[in-house]
Chain A
């Protein structure tokens, strides 16, 4: 039996009927066509599905849509504002921190929660913050540099 949920996604309120066994990742991708959130393993082991939920970065493949009711969700699509791209997005683009792009959404959102809590992280803190986001393409370096650049106001 479907359940009604109300949640905020990227600043917009939604009221939806969802099956209990639908994950938040599938809600975003299949129902709302917010396909920026990716599925790399569906077991919480790669971080591609990362979203921000009530200020914390989580694997949306391990959250039920019904658990997200009442919560404030930010996906990669919500980083951009009317003013333009988020500084993290700008730096990722500028520095070449994006290759295949599949880990990018998760990286940006993990980075955002880090900088929101800790605006001047050390390199170790940056690497720890993204340690749940696997990347097979970049070797992480330009991603770490980009996050550092934003934290230093570059």
Chain B
């Protein structure tokens, strides 16, 4: 077991003191001189033609500096994936959902901007709208996008092995349907921007984003400014979870307004606008047919899924693939068929949210597997253990599991929760349930087709003082990536953590694809490690020349130079250093080993600026079939969970009493951060299972676009979680590390569903488990239904 100096510990996060004292700057905290305020005009109708837009009254309002519509913005289409660029900054001919952006105003203050927005007259001709998958696919339904008949945004058909033949050899086949509901990201910080187009024609956009790089490219493409003249800066972000992983209209509109006015423009979403924007979890309807042998061997799975996608594609083209591909693990499954359809509807567009297309699929399958286990008379834990994959196994859709602690996770939660004692012995009204999960550690391919490195990192050694500055385009969005990179850099360079400074989230620093698909620990981590090793090598090369010692006989550890052989006489170097530092109070003692501080100074004197660079790009991953790219990843992480619930039969209210969670993160760079991500994932999963649902009226307007009626877990709803970190040492990960940010949510919903079934024997295959839904299901069962 390797001993590490910095990583694998519990270093407090670098950004915590600023956040604890109110000094951390988020986008709405930014003020620039001469700054204007922007506001958006959004469609009140779900589907309508735009006949005319009259901005004359708005323009005349004193204090208004610019009113922008499609006429000014142009119609360069964009979106998340180049395969589905189906959005424009502003609608010109048609609006497709309540909230679709039509215009934007920049004015001297917010009040004036809002008043101007109210003065813009839009003549709409209302069109029939479709709000459900069924309605959208029906014969004669209104089409949202001419290019996509029957409103099918994307469809996927894949088969691996031979499912029909496998079914013919199964002893038990079950079909179940499962529906989750549209969620909202519900991050505490609403999206916001400050756009600043300066006098040199450079655009700087400060934005609460997960993906500065992608936003920069979209800005460049849509506003037609060269990439090198666009800079996206991510201040501290108050949560992202997926909906902030793509460029949004506000970013483009504010930039456009800044270009037109020559002044910085600030714009924020209200909480209601966050809901209207959505780009959050789709509603999935999964029909799973699963076949097993009577000894519990999993043989085949046929998965049909319909995604209600909203008015634009956003991440949806990836989502519809993930909803199939992620079921290929963590169990050995030789035969899998997937038919997925993502359907346009006149509602806010759905995108990627923690766990992406895997969450509903996982809930559906893990619930069904419990039903199957019950029919076979098998314990659910035994069933999972029997079918679990191991490191080195390859899925039917060609995912390579280079490390895979699935069995360890299952055993950990089984033992940690007391499953064997409790299962079958729970008191009346209480239940225990378990489930497993599986996720990627970073998408194998960038969102746009490219040979680009996925992550590049620059580390600049200070010319004196022995500190290093990590410059990375990666996005610290609250998950702790800055601290992770600092720890990796410190470990790889060989210095204490407090010698490392991190600057991140700025496209000027380096290319990094950003915080999505749980990629940064592995990918940015690799690039950081390589940059640090590059820097170490450069420093050691200088020492090697000076001390006549081969580089491979030296190392840097805990801020000192260590010599594998005999320690050479370095007094000459110490003298040089001392001469330059007369009056300094922290010079090394006479008998102290050679310090990194001294070596770094000597290296600077010899070579000038010392810069280490590192980059990471996954190797070619995955199969050659259509859609093979989606779901590929350099590493995969399994997890398992046991949940205990109490069901109040009289009201249907479910209380989550206890959660035990085991997650294979490969290697925990920061144990506290890993636990925090597990606990946070579980609370989001709990919310989705129990309370969260975006509700609409018959005109496509959101009924609960606020945090009172869209209910995320409060401190009184969330129990304590026994977190167990499993470390399987991923060979493809830096120091063996892989993801934790999204995978941990995967087992949560089904573990809760399975626990509720254990408690009261009702099968509920639709979320959320509101008291009403549970109560009605219990009533139905007691009256003789199933």
Give the complex CA separation of A126 and B718 in angstroms.
Answer: 13
Most buried by A among B186, B188, B672: B188
B706 lies within 8 A of A45 (CB): yes
CB contact list, B256-281 vs A, under 8 A: 270-271
Q: Quick one: closest B residue to A76, CB to CB? A: B22
Give the complex CA separation of A132 and B679 in angstroms.
Answer: 19
B714 lies within 8 A of A141 (CB): no
How many residues belonging to B are interface residues under a CB distance threshold of 8 Å?
A: 55
The smallest beta-carbon distance between B498 and chain A, in angstroms, is 14
B-contacting 9-mer, from A1-9, A63-71, A90-98? A90-98
Q: Does A34 contact B (CB under 8 A)?
A: yes
Q: Does A57 contact B (CB under 8 A)?
A: no
Choose among B20, B675, B682, B714 the residue that contacts A104 (Cβ–Cβ < 8 A): B20
A-contacting 9-mer, from B87-95, B477-485, B551-559? B477-485
Give the complex CA separation of A46 and B710 in angstroms.
Answer: 11
Known: A36-B21, A77-B21. A139 touches B478 (CB 8 A): no
Q: Quick one: closest B residue to A101, CB to CB? A: B19
Q: B residues within 8 A CB of A141?
A: 679, 718, 720-721
Q: Quick one: closest B residue to A21, CB to CB? A: B111
Choose among B10, B26, B238, B715 the residue that contacts A140 (Cβ–Cβ < 8 A): B715
Q: A residues within 8 A CB of B708?
A: 43, 45
Choose among B16, B22, B190, B672 the residue that contacts A105 (Cβ–Cβ < 8 A): B22
The smallest beta-carbon distance between B720 and chain A, in angstroms, is 5
Known: A41-B271, A89-B21, A134-B714. A99 touches B29 (CB 8 A): no
Q: Does B66 contact A (CB under 8 A)?
A: no
The smallest beta-carbon distance between B56 and chain A, in angstroms, is 29
Most buried by A among B18, B19, B478, B708: B19
The smallest beta-carbon distance between A47 and chain B, in angstroms, is 9
Give the complex CA separation of A33 and B29 in angstroms.
Answer: 8
Choose among A46, A77, A98, A132 the residue that contacts B16 (Cβ–Cβ < 8 A): A98
Most buried by A among B271, B682, B684: B271
A131 lies within 8 A of B714 (CB): yes
Q: A residues within 8 A CB of B673?
A: 96
Q: Does B736 contact A (CB under 8 A)?
A: no
Q: A residues within 8 A CB of B237?
A: 100
Q: Does B24 contact A (CB under 8 A)?
A: yes
CB contact list, B183-217 vs A, under 8 A: 186-190
Q: Does B707 contact A (CB under 8 A)?
A: yes
Q: Does B653 contact A (CB under 8 A)?
A: no
Choose among A38, A43, A99, A101 the residue that contacts B271 (Cβ–Cβ < 8 A): A43
Most buried by A among B15, B478, B713: B478
B721 lies within 8 A of A93 (CB): no
B239 lies within 8 A of A39 (CB): no
Give the complex CA separation of A38 and B192 in angstroms.
Answer: 13
Q: Does B74 contact A (CB under 8 A)?
A: no
A93 lies within 8 A of B188 (CB): no
Give the complex CA separation of A81 and B31 in angstroms.
Answer: 27
Q: Does B658 contact A (CB under 8 A)?
A: no
Q: Does B680 contact A (CB under 8 A)?
A: yes
B238 lies within 8 A of A96 (CB): no
Choose among B12, B16, B188 the residue that contacts A136 (Cβ–Cβ < 8 A): B188
A101 lies within 8 A of B238 (CB): yes
How many residues belonging to A are interface residues under a CB distance threshold of 8 Å?
A: 54
Q: Does B23 contact A (CB under 8 A)?
A: yes
Q: Quick one: closest B residue to A33, CB to CB? A: B31
A127 lies within 8 A of B28 (CB): no
The smallest beta-carbon distance between B189 and chain A, in angstroms, is 5
A104 lies within 8 A of B12 (CB): no
Give the complex CA separation of A39 and B720 in angstroms.
Answer: 28
Give the complex CA separation of A48 and B28 in angstroms.
Answer: 13
Known: A36-B22, A131-B715. A101 touches B187 (CB 8 A): no
CB contact list, A20-58 vs B, under 8 A: 29, 33-43, 45-46, 48
CB contact list, B663-707 vs A, under 8 A: 672-673, 675-676, 679-684, 706-707
Give the complex CA separation of A96 and B680 in angstroms.
Answer: 12
Q: Quick one: closest A residue to B271, CB to CB? A: A41
Q: A residues within 8 A CB of B12?
A: 93-94, 96
Choose among B236, B477, B681, B707 the residue that contacts A41 (Cβ–Cβ < 8 A): B707
CB contact list, B444-480 vs A, under 8 A: 477-480
B21 lies within 8 A of A80 (CB): yes
A142 lies within 8 A of B679 (CB): yes
Choose among B20, B29, B187 the residue that contacts A89 (Cβ–Cβ < 8 A): B20
Q: Does B550 contact A (CB under 8 A)?
A: no
The smallest beta-carbon distance between A63 and chain B, in angstroms, is 18
Q: Does B712 contact A (CB under 8 A)?
A: yes
Q: A residues within 8 A CB of B683?
A: 135-136, 138-140
The smallest beta-carbon distance between B323 and chain A, in angstroms, is 24
Q: Does A17 contact B (CB under 8 A)?
A: no
Q: A residues within 8 A CB of B675?
A: 96, 142
B680 lies within 8 A of A93 (CB): no
The smallest beta-carbon distance between B600 and chain A, in angstroms, is 28
Q: Quick one: closest A residue to B19, CB to CB? A: A101
A128 lies within 8 A of B672 (CB): no
Known: A36-B23, A101-B24. A135 touches B188 (CB 8 A): yes
Choose among B20, B25, B679, B716 the residue that contacts A98 (Cβ–Cβ < 8 A): B20
Give the complex CA separation of A93 and B17 in angstroms.
Answer: 6
Q: Does A60 contact B (CB under 8 A)?
A: no
A137 lies within 8 A of B676 (CB): yes
Give the complex CA separation of A102 and B682 in angstroms.
Answer: 19
Known: A48-B188, A96-B672. A40 touches B238 (CB 8 A): yes
Q: A residues within 8 A CB of B25?
A: 35
Q: B residues within 8 A CB of A89?
A: 17, 20-21
A139 lies within 8 A of B721 (CB): yes
CB contact list, B477-513 vs A, under 8 A: 477-480
Known: A96-B672, A136-B680. A101 touches B15 (CB 8 A): yes
Q: Does B383 contact A (CB under 8 A)?
A: no
Q: B residues within 8 A CB of A40?
A: 188-190, 238, 271, 707
Q: Does A103 contact B (CB under 8 A)?
A: yes
The smallest beta-carbon distance between A151 and chain B, in angstroms, is 15
Known: A93-B13, A96-B13, A136-B188. A39 touches B28 (CB 8 A): yes
A93 lies within 8 A of B707 (CB): no
A37 lies within 8 A of B672 (CB): no
Give the complex CA separation of A41 and B718 in angstroms.
Answer: 21
Known: A36-B21, A40-B188, A85-B21. A137 touches B680 (CB 8 A): yes
Q: Does A115 contact B (CB under 8 A)?
A: no
Give the complex CA separation of A34 and B29 in angstroms.
Answer: 9
B712 lies within 8 A of A136 (CB): yes
Known: A35-B29, A96-B675. A102 touches B22 (CB 8 A): no
The contact sample of 8 A-B pairs, CB cut-off 8 A, is A41-B190, A41-B707, A77-B23, A102-B189, A138-B683, A139-B676, A142-B679, A143-B715
Closest 7 CB pairs of A and B: A36-B22, A100-B478, A101-B19, A102-B238, A139-B679, A139-B683, A96-B672
Given A101-B16, A102-B238, 14 other A-B residues pairs in contact with their CB atoms under 8 A: A45-B707, A46-B188, A77-B23, A93-B12, A96-B676, A101-B236, A104-B20, A108-B20, A127-B715, A137-B676, A139-B682, A139-B718, A140-B683, A141-B720
